[in-house]
Structure 1
Amino acid sequence: MFSSIKKVMAATAITVLATTAAFAADKPKVAFVPQLIGIPYFNAMEAGGNKAAADLGVDFIYTGPVDTNPVDQLQIVQNLINQGVNAISISVLDASSIAPVVKAAEAKGIKLFTSDSDAPDSGRAVYVAQATDEGLGGAIIDELVKRVGEDAKIGIVSGEATASNLNAWIGFMKKQAAAKYPKLQLLEPQYAGGTAERAAQLAGDLMTANPDMKAIIAVASSTCPGVAQAIETAGKIGSVIGTGYCSPNTARSYLKSGAFGFTVLWDPAQLGYLTVWAGKQLIDGKPFAASNTIPGFDAPVTYDAKTGILLLGPPAIFTAENVDKFDF
């Protein structure tokens, strides 16, 4: 196992070295390390980051692990630090392990911050948030209750057990349920890692073990297809409503089939753009204002100095009726 991890680390280091060497030396460099490469959600963030880089005159480095492995992610971040990348953002897989790389970055004058998933106690420079964790957790519960009632049993299939953003959303789901819908029953989360196949298996097991269950929430974008396919395979369309934090392109066919009733998300391309914009601000030593006007954004982006959170905006609800208006 350790030999294979070392091989991945070495290959990643070579890739990052080759990538950074190709960039112009006179441009500031902003990197983003997602939780996982090769999925539509993070592909959209990459596209937004590339657009921001072109608009703002920076080089954008996008590199991440091939599966949701915190060890690999940290090694990639360390490689970027060793290369002297000016600003590095991370969608954190394991919040408890980030603090040492934040200190390593600071020692080299590098701005290290979080985006999409936070590590609030790590000393990061800023968190570029897609929406508040409370807003995301509350929105999905409120929308589900409209469809299944206030006393339904609801299953949860998440991604990595250590992902701070996913756990925060689940925590606020539970808080919203306890405060507003005391008869609602949220089952304990099942963790699928980063695979749709495992999510499908867990969702199927939940439906078998809980024939009276009314809904399943796919907390990670990578688990959305698996949950939806499990509902379709089980012939539960109409009796079990699927939902989750899924992009329109990922969920479109499932929204139209009825396996999903709705999904909750934001525009990850705008989140990627905002991430690179924030990195450029940090490199230039420009403080964030309470309200920031970003080129191409419909509304100002707010900043909370107390929490260090730069907020993209409120979550969006996608349904079969509006999903075709979006392409990400």
Structure 2
Amino acid sequence: MKKLLTATALLGALTAPAFAESHGGYTFALVPKAMNNPFFDLARDGCHAAQEELADVTCEYIGPGEHTELEQIQIVQDLITKGVDGIAVAPSNAPAMAKVLKGAMDAGIPVMTWDSDLLPEDIALRTTYVGTNNYNIGVHLAELVMARHPDGGTVCLQTGGAAAANHNERLLGARETLAGMDLGDPPGRMLDGDNGWTEISGCPLITNDDGNVAVQGMTDILAANPDLTAFLSTGAFTQWFDNAYRNAAEPYKGKMDAGELTIVVADTLPMQLAQTKDGLGNGLVGQRPYEMGYKAMYILKDIVEGKNVEDPIYTGLDICNNDNVDTCVK
């Protein structure tokens, strides 16, 4: 359900512009989970494009060099101390980030989240969320699997950080869709024969958004489970390193062509589309990170200027399979 700017957020909006006026414009920080991630590179590009259009806005793109929860928390703390005019953050560890963002509220610095949100009990600490309906990513990934395997089978799920709210929501969406039932709060429970689906031992695989860990995990699982029906990853990290992923998937191309194995992965980065086109994967559910970074600058400007904003703001999804891979990305 969408809502308008809260009273708490409005208070922050009314106090923040004083700093902006003192240095001749607004400085808004866009904080990713990691800066060595091609997904977040697109958000950075969107942020900089908005900066070019908004004469009084500077996009400060800053985050951990690699996916490190503690470093991200320290960066946000430093931004609060610095006194930026607004912060858009993709929390790696939602509960831990919430503790830091209380300081932003106390300092009158507006906060929004993007890509990954805070937990429900902490959302009053930010004004809005812009990005993906993460539950729906899991839903569509599961639907891609079920279209190829209507009678069920065995599945391995791969995810990002164990405390990342967005990945846990994706896991829940995938599990509930495969099971055809309500499984409670994110990330839900492991499937055990539910609607014909069973999660194998050793999964879900936790990657901490590390591409090397992700592709090695997939390699090991496929080798140890030759009869696996589906491998479902909630993040693009599985396919970031093109050569490594291709080497891992190539031995199973025949099984994928025959409909015996399905590999589906979140996101639609260029290398992922090429891999899917070449039959080294069977489905993608793509987000729109450029739009997230772009919109974040406009949204933060609206907040500090006291305008109403909706919550949440979803940026849409692109659903791809082997048949529509050339046309699926909007």
Report the TM-score, using the length of structure 1 for normalisation: 0.80
Contact residue 32 and residue 40 of structure 2 kept, 8 A: yes
Q: What residue is the counterpart of 2:231 in the other structure?
A: 216
> How many aligned positions are there?
286
Whichever residue aligns with residue 213 of structure 1, its letter is: L
Moved more, 176-185 or 213-222: 176-185
Q: Does 1:184 find its partner at 2:197?
A: yes
Matches within 5 A, 1:1-328: 25-57=23-55, 58-120=57-119, 121-122=121-122, 123-179=124-180, 182-187=195-200, 188-225=203-240, 229-233=247-251, 236-238=255-257, 239-288=260-309, 303=310, 308-313=311-316, 315-324=317-326
CA distance in 2, matches of 1:81, 1:133: 28
Whichever residue aligns with residue 102 of structure 1, its letter is: L
Query: What secondary structure does 2:180 align onto?
Result: helix
> How far apart are 1:145 and its partner, in Å?
0.7
Query: What secondary structure does 1:175 align onto?
Result: helix
Whichever residue aligns with residue 141 of structure 1, its letter is: A
Give 5+ residue unaligned stretches, structure 2. Answer: 1-21, 182-193
Whichever residue aligns with residue 133 of structure 1, its letter is: N
The C-alpha deviation readout for 1:185-233, integer Å capped at 9, x for no partner, is 2343111222222112211222233221122112122223466642225
Query: What secondary structure does 1:29 align onto?
Result: strand
Query: What secondary structure does 2:125 align onto?
Result: coil
CA distance in 2, matches of 1:171, 1:220: 14
Query: What secondary structure does 2:118 align onto?
Result: coil
CA distance in 1, matches of 2:180, 2:327: 34
CA distance in 1, matches of 2:168, 2:285: 16
Higher relative contact order at CA 8 Å, sep ≥6: structure 1 or structure 2? 2
Query: What secondary structure does 2:231 align onto?
Result: strand
Whichever residue aligns with residue 253 of structure 1, its letter is: A
Query: What secondary structure does 1:38 align onto?
Result: coil
CA distance in 1, matches of 2:132, 2:207: 23
CA distance in 1, matches of 2:287, 2:302: 23
Q: Quick one: percent identity of the two aligned structures?
A: 24
Contact residue 144 and residue 264 of structure 2 kept, 8 A: no
CA distance in 2, matches of 1:59, 1:101: 23
Q: Cα RMSD over matched residues?
A: 2.3
Evaluate the alpha carbon distance shift between residue 245 and residue 319 of structure 1 in structure 2; reply closer, same or farther with a 3 A threshold.
Answer: same
Report the TM-score, using the length of structure 2 for normalisation: 0.79
The C-alpha deviation readout for 1:262-288, integer Å capped at 9, x for no partner, is 200122111111222211111111112
> How far apart are 1:119 and its partner, in Å?
0.6
Query: What secondary structure does 2:157 align onto?
Result: strand
